[in-house]
Structure 1
Amino acid sequence: MAPTERAEAIRETIWSTVVRVEITHQPDPRLIRTVGTISAVGPLKVCSVRANATTIRRTPSLARDDMEPSVFVGLQLTGSSMVVQDGREALLEPGDMALYDTTRPYTLLNKDGIHQHFFRVPHAELAVPLATLDRATAVRLPRRDPLADLTATCLRRIARHQARSTASSAHGMVGAGRPAIELLRALITARLGDHLSASGPLHDTLHVRILDYVRAHLGDHDLTPARIAAQHHVSRRCLYNTLSCKGICLGDWIRTQRLERCRDELAAPAALHRPISAIAWRWGFPNAAHFSRTFKHAYGLTPSDWRALHAAAR
């Protein structure tokens, strides 16, 4: 695009699809660079951007527009940035998040350019008391916080999928927006709300947090129901009931996830010379013979035949 047209094209795109803001670009129009994707996952609007713009402002007059009242979540990818709203400033490093509200003015300062995922959630979908939201803006949600890290991981997965998806595969992600919003609600209320307002969202996201914990520890040979329950401060009965309500049998789910990891690794060129027993052990199968039988029952081929099939196809 011609340099003289870039700033206006970017403004028009952002205004028509995301939010009305003033954008300060490089003084020399030839240096303006912006690349990104904008999409929707159910009620969640996803905007992934890398740009060398320096400042974004939602001015008092723009904050009075007819846009549906919403909250933005900024997830910093590289570099640093600052969110300013309601008399507070949040300095973000990679992995950190911060919220800002479209109904009031805010400023995003990006000295070295923008590299973030932005997620817009309508107030009505987030369903957090306005008094709590007022305390949540321009507050750094650091990556070292376990609940913030889990929320960021979920949002990051959605953004990455949207960036590389086709129209048909993106349609299949529509349902993913809801768990992400539930996690965000739990994070806001747990960190900035009161105990009563936090209990509901934390309960609603228990199954999401359990499954994410299990995914992260699939290779652990002591990944027992007792350990999983203790990690989430619930009884084993509560653990089983929570997952059962979502149609999940814990033992079957863990076995399926482990088998998928083994299947993918056996087909990977980098693992061609890695012993099958070592791959099985890595993903929680200590008995090679039992693993081979389980794998064949699931996929119709032995692990060695599966590996040979993919090696021949390369």
Structure 2
Amino acid sequence: MMIDAAVMAPAERAEAIREVIWSSVVRVEITHQPDPRLIRTLGAISGIGPLTVCSVRANATTIRRTPSLARDDMEPSLFVGLQVTGSSMVVQDGREAVLQPGDLALYDTTRPYTLFNKDGIHQHFFRIPRSELSLSAKLLDRVTAVRFSRRDPLADLTATCLRRIARHQAHPAPSSEHSLDAAGRPGIQLLRALITDRLSDQHLTSEPWHETLHLRILDHVRAHLGDHDLTPARIAAHHHISRRQLYNTLSRQGICLSDWIRIQRLERCRDELAAPAARHRSIAAIARHWGFPNAAHFSRTFKQTYDLTPSDWRALHAASP
């Protein structure tokens, strides 16, 4: 979706921009120039796998997620703001982060925040469901409105990955959609590494073992989704716990292990079936690679989940000649 205030009637610009942001990104109050004729906004919004990407250039603007808006029914998410040019400030949880070009800052949609852009906006914004980061809310709360400097090598690597995703979503090459969808996950993993690296010395090592057990379990399962012997007994043994403790640990997080593994495997198959680079691989081979040894069972499960057969999904996303 593209936003261009120049093609809107001046009297309608503020409300039109607000409506697009509310429906596609997040519900916030936006304070523009007093004179609607001076409102300048140009941007692109798209979904890249689990990421929602919003790249915006605009003149001076203040953006507020108020206490009432923070209580809406939106999925709890984390925003990453990547400064492109100019400077801006993120305020949340009693902290302030002033960003310069190349810097990153995080803020959480479940609590109020304010973004000050007195010299205008030129940023890439990435919205990520908190569940995708596999980090506890207590940990994520410690890094909101904290500046991640471009001088930090890991922050610079994360910013480079996110910047390239944003650049390509705004100017997509033919048949690049599915490779971009796949690129969203490495971007999230880099962000997760950046957060844990920042907190490791102060917090992660002192966090009680049981509070992060479910995160370690999910990380282990993700790394072994293709293993056909990925059984509850094997997962429990790897973490030196009983199967009962395994189930109880995940249940407290609202996770059914078998359902979670099935969905994760289906998502990997779905991504690979849509990828042009995997067109030479048979559906059965892709299914086996991600832990579905029975091709017929995989096809039935895929159709029940996505309302399309694997072959129909692949055909729908096949690259044009």
For the pair 1:51 / 2:58, whether they are aligned, the reply is: yes
Distance verdict in 2 for CA 1:126–1:7, change over 3 Å: same
Whichever residue aligns with residue 91 of structure 1, its letter is: V
Q: How does 1:1-314 map to 2 (within 5 A)?
A: 1-165=8-172, 168-193=175-200, 194-196=203-205
Aligned partners of 1:131 and 1:172: how far apart in 2? 33
How far does residue 53 in structure 1 lie from its aligned partner after superposition?
3.9
Mark the structure with the bigger radius of gyration: 1
Distance 2:159 2:82 in 1: 7
Tell me how far 1:173 sits from its aligned partner: 1.1
Cα drift, residue 166 of structure 1: 5.2
- Structure 2 counterpart SS, 1:172: helix
Distance 1:119 1:18 in 2: 9
Distance in 1 between residues matched to 2:177 and 2:158, nearest whole Å = 20
Q: Distance in 2 between matches of 1:143 and 1:31?
A: 32
SS at match of 2:128: strand
Paired letter, 2:17? I
TM-score (norm 2): 0.60
RMSD: 1.9
The residue that corresponds to 1:244 in the other structure is: none
- How far the C-alpha of 1:153 sits from its partner, in A, is 0.3
Superimposed CA distance per residue, residues 152-207 of structure 1 (whole angstroms, 9 cap, x where no aligned partner)? 0000010001110157422331100000000000000110244558997xx99xxx
- Kindly tell me the number of residue pairs found equivalent between the two proteins: 202
Q: What are the superposed Cα offsets for residues 41-96 of structure 1, whole Å, 9 maximum, x if unpaired?
A: 10011100001142000000000000000000000000000000000000000000
Mind listing any 5+ residue stretches in structure 2 that lack a counterpart? Answer: 1-7, 221-321
Task: Tell me the secondary structure at the aligned position of residue 176 of structure 2.
Answer: helix
Q: Contact 1:23 / 1:53 at 8 angstroms: preserved in 2?
A: no
SS of residue paired to 2:11: helix
Question: Counterparts of 2:110 and 2:60 in 1: how far apart (Å)?
Answer: 23
SS of residue in 1 equivalent to 2:148: coil
Alpha-carbon distance in 2 for matches of 1:192, 1:144:
17
1:121 and 1:167 mapped to 2: Cα distance? 25
Equivalent-residue separation in structure 2 for 1:6 and 1:53 (angstroms): 15
Looking at structure 2, the residues matched to 110 and 19 of structure 1 have their Cα atoms a distance apart, in angstroms, of 17
